[in-house]
């Protein structure tokens, strides 16, 4: 598929996905959503790709969210089953996804970042769910993910005021993992991704799936059911499950196969 609104680069087992509409601060419309849904489908299905990093083209914006000018001009709205940017409703991908936030992350752009497993933000990054200021609401996951990630009162403080939050405050609130100098968001995210790839991808997928499913039920139920989760069963049946202890006993780096 020819990509018009995004770019994809593969660096070993790491997929770099760049939202590429810099003329509108990487704001997204229906065609971009459908394109990105296919991009993330391809990443999820590729056994050679273990971690994804999502960033925005240019040095001003990660993603300004919904393309309001497109909407105001009568442009059709909507997205595929994966949700906003093909990501916000993607609950079946057990591979880690990292947001490299290199500037503005507003509305749907912030929702994309919240849907990722980690957020690495440059010092000039700004986050907000400003939808109420234009008569909308953050219905691509922001109203649900933010309270779960930083607590109800802190989330209410951001959502009801629609205020902008700096990368530094985002780190203090707990939704940003690391703040890096301006221009280094992608490099910082790749550093995290490369560290993740030193671990067994089978273990990483089992860990992510267990965390996600476990948070939806009681602690007792999560512990009782975790060994029946598909990614956990796949890990136990994998070559990596044998290779890890063997490499440790032989005092050598493991050779992960991801199967």
Catalytic residues: 111, 131
Q: Which long-range contacts (CB under 8 A, 24 or more apart) does 43-46 make?
A: 43/15, 43/17, 43/93, 43/95, 44/90, 44/92, 44/93, 44/95, 46/15
10 Å Cβ neighbour count for 150? 18
The 3 state secondary structure assigned to 189-234 is: HHHHHHHHCCCCHHHHHHHHHHHHHHCCCCHHHHHHHHHHCHHHHH
**78 to each of 28, 48, 85, 91, 240, how far by Cα in Å?**
10, 31, 10, 18, 40
**16 closest CA partner among 197, 208, 189:** 189
d(CA 250, CA 130): 55
Give phi and psi for 11, each to the nearest 5: -120, 90
Give the list of residues 6+ apart from residue 73 with CB closer than 8 angstroms, or none. none
């Amino acid at each position: 598929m020819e990509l018009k609104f995004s770019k994809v680069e593969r660096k070993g087992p790491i997929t770099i996905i760049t939202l590429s509409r810099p003329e509108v601060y990487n704001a997204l419309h229906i065609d971009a959503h459908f394109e990105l849904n296919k991009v993330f489908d391809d990443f999820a299905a590729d056994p050679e790709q273990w971690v994804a990093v999502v960033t925005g083209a240019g040095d001003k914006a990660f993603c300004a969210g919904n393309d309001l000018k497109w909407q105001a001009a009568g442009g059709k709205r909507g997205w595929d089953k994966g949700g906003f940017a093909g990501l916000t409703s993607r609950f079946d991908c057990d591979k880690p996804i990292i947001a490299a936030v290199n500037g503005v992350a507003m509305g749907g752009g912030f929702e994309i970042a919240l849907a990722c497993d980690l957020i690495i933000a440059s010092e000039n990054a700004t986050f907000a769910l400003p939808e109420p200021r234009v008569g909308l609401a953050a219905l691509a996951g922001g109203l649900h993910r933010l309270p779960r990630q930083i607590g109800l009162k802190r989330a209410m403080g951001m959502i009801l005021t629609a205020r902008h939050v700096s990368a530094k405050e985002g780190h203090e609130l707990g939704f940003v993992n690391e703040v890096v100098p301006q221009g280094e968001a992608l490099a910082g995210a790749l550093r995290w991704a490369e560290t993740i790839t030193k671990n067994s991808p089978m273990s990483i997928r089992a860990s992510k799936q267990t965390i996600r499913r476990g948070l939806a039920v009681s602690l007792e139920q999560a512990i009782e059911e975790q060994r029946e989760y598909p990614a956990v069963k796949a890990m136990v049946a994998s070559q990596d499950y044998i290779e890890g202890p063997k490499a440790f006993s032989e005092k050598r780096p493991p050779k992960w196969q991801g199967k």
